[in-house]
A and B are shown apart, each in its own frame.
Chain A
Amino acid sequence: MRYEVDVNGRVLRVDVHRADRHFVVNVDGHEWTIDAARVDPHTLSLLIGSSSHEVTLAADKTPGQLAVGIKSVPLSVSVNGRRKWGRRDDGAGGGGPQPLVAPMPGKVVRVLVKVGTSVYPRQPLVVVEAMKMENELRAKRSGIVTELLVQEGQSVDAGALLLVVSPE
């Protein structure tokens, strides 16, 4: 998966691949093998090679911004231009993968795509039933379904990742 990450105003291109229990991460052409452990909802422990980094992440006051702390260094971070998200959520623009998540707890009643399906903006992808209502979850932008993590009949929590659409 590819992300555009803005760190203190510097934009970095970050590619992430899973490899066994590790991640292979490429940052602007430099590649590292990383062991990531999620300690609690705000803390990641990263072993980049053998060097240990503890990172604290929390939503910042500015919507879409993350306040990141490493040792006592504070950094301001946003992923995939989320700062301007409101304006980009119209199907246009945006280069990174789009994760589709369940906006509420419910039951997946229909999966309308498969891995490899090409999708167009606003195409219905998954239908989730919650509070006796069927909710169509749609694609934001065009792309290809690269990951599908749920099947029909499955119950999901709010925030559960359902599938990922990557740019073509």
Chain B
Amino acid sequence: MNKILIANRGEIAVRIIRACREMGIATVAVYSECDRPALHVRLADEASPIGPNAPRESYLRIDNILRAARDTGADAVHPGYGFLAENEAFARAVRDEGLVFIGPTPEAIALMGSKTAARQAARRAGVPLVPGTETPLGAEVADAEIERIADGVGYPLLVKAVSGGGGKGMRTVTEPAELTAAVRRARSEASAAFGDPSVYLERRIVRPRHIEIQLLGDHHGTVLPFVERECSIQRRHQKVVEESPSAAVTPAIREAMMSAAAAVARAVGYTNAGTVEFLLDENGQFYFLEMNTRLQVEHPITEMVTGIDLVRWQIRIARGERLDLDAERLATPRGHAIECRIYAEDPDNAFLPSPGRIVHLRVPAGPGIRDDSGATAGLEVPIFYDPLVSKLIAWAEDRPAAIARMQRALGEYVVAGIRTTIPFFSWLLAQPDFLAGKVHTAYLDDVLASRNGRSFVEAEVATENVAAIAAALRAVLAPDATNRTDGDGQPARVDLRWKGQARVEGLR
């Protein structure tokens, strides 16, 4: 394997390029029109355009990506996460092209991509499942039949899209009267988002935690599970903070979960990196949720507590190497790691996306801090893709120290030009329930709803005074900066004026 094409963008493309560079493997970036100046394009050895900005015209275009691979002579493809990472047709097309797909086989992607097939596989492996339907309920299944099945599952229950993910096509039903309407809405959402109206029913576990097990499988029959990740802090079913290990997982639960995850993977002959997701209830009972057949966004926290480079191992496995890692090491977390997903969203304005140009950026550093990002000053956060700016990861010897370190790093993080969720994380990491580790998958939505949109960090009077002083001194040092309406929306010009003025006045 001499040259890898990365079929992705943003921070994950950068992450993979870094691993390749460290392994002496050449890299090919692909990019849409607006991503021409993106960091992954600049860091790669080669780069190839794959189309206009809309994902379905570029990052989802299998033909364009394969053409880029042919043109550059790449011999392998890493899909990253999102986009085509869990697309069976893509994995198959890469293989048919004679290239190595750095991930599981198309067969494993297809099997685990169907939630009902995945549940069947888990059942065969003897892994506990949340009570629910075993076969998809296609559009042809009558309402009365669904009601009968629902009675067997029990209430409260969830209606979920078979091809769903990220909370799309998912509905909670607390009593039978709500069922038919909920199924209709879930079907229409799933049709629109995934082109498949099939749904299934699942008992809703009250106040569960979302715990997942990372694993690696090689082509020689070895499957190795890792210590768990705690992913219960979610906003609208999207993870925003992840930790490893979980405050709720005892060594006994950990051992049981890790073997269950490995059993699911072995049952389907799984290879490369994957993650088995579980719900953990308040009594310590866990249930198989689904398997993600890709590298996860939150993989760095596992790397931090085990010292294993997961992307490097993905590549080694794809090359046919044996997983000769010490299983005990993977099961034993060293210290504690936390990840905050920093988004270009305005937390004080209902988390609305805040795209725009990053005019200034300072990334935190120092002991135990890792910033996985595709952002640099001067770059525009485009409106076309996921607005993830950075994954900030803090590692320390225990959970309180990791939280304190994350707070320290958030305070150092400076992003000007766009709004980000950094102030929200400062707030969240100070909440008593978070500090006590008492969280569940609805925790964040509940606490956000109770705030009624109040700002997360309310400036103290002293801070307001400092802001006023700074703005006035800026006006003194660069009067023109405040003398303009800035109506042209060109902050760069304001900078020019300031710079010019500093020169004129001979200021430092």
Contacts and interface: CB of A to CB of B under 8 A. Distances in A.
Interface string A125-140: 0000000000000000
B432 interface: no
Interface string A98-129: 11010000000000000000000000000000
Contacts of A73: 423, 457, 459, 463
Given A12-B465, A82-B485, A86-B485, A44 B457 contact: no
B495 interface: yes
B413 interface: yes
Given A7-B467, A101-B480, A159-B497, A71 B411 contact: yes
Nearest to B473: A36
Interface size classification for chain A: 35 or more
Nearest to B479: A99
A149 interface: yes
Given A46-B469, A63-B486, A159-B480, 6 more contacts: A8-B459, A69-B416, A72-B413, A72-B422, A149-B505, A161-B480
A66 to B, nearest CB: 6
A161 B505 contact: yes
A56 interface: yes
A15 to B, nearest CB: 8
A149 B504 contact: yes
A77 B423 contact: no
Contact of B356 (A12, A18, A61): A61
B499 A72 contact: no
A161 B479 contact: yes
B500 A157 contact: yes
B471 A68 contact: yes
A77 B467 contact: yes
Nearest to B499: A41
A76 B16 CA distance: 38
A74 B422 CA distance: 10
A44 B497 contact: no
Contacts of B499: 41, 159
Nearest to B419: A74
B24 interface: no
Nearest first, the 3 closest Cβ-Cβ pairs linking A and B are: A159-B497, A99-B479, A101-B480
Contacts of A36: 473, 477
A41 B502 CA distance: 10
A100 to B, nearest CB: 8
Nearest to A11: B468
A144 interface: no
Nearest to A150: B504
Given A16-B476, A34-B473, A75 B485 contact: no
B73 to A, nearest CB: 42
Given A34-B473, A69-B414, A160 B501 contact: yes
15 contacts: A23-B473, A41-B360, A44-B470, A46-B473, A53-B470, A58-B491, A66-B482, A69-B416, A75-B467, A77-B467, A156-B504, A157-B504, A159-B500, A160-B480, A160-B501
B149 interface: no
Interface size classification for chain B: 35 or more
A14 interface: yes
A76 to B, nearest CB: 9
Nearest to A66: B471
A25 B411 contact: no
B460 to A, nearest CB: 8
A123 to B, nearest CB: 17
Given A16-B476, A157-B503, A159-B478, A85 B495 contact: no
Contact of A37 (B478, B487, B508): B508
B379 interface: no
B426 A72 contact: yes
Interface in B82-110: none
A145 interface: no
B141 interface: no
B472 interface: yes
A106 to B, nearest CB: 12
Contacts of A38: 477, 498, 502, 507-508
Contacts of A74: 348, 419, 423, 457
Given A7-B464, A38-B502, A164-B479, A68 B470 contact: yes
A134 to B, nearest CB: 20
Contact of B501 (A27, A58, A63, A159): A159
A64 B494 CA distance: 11
Residue in B356, B482, B486, B491 whose Cβ sees the most chain A Cβ within 10 Å: B482
A70 B466 contact: yes
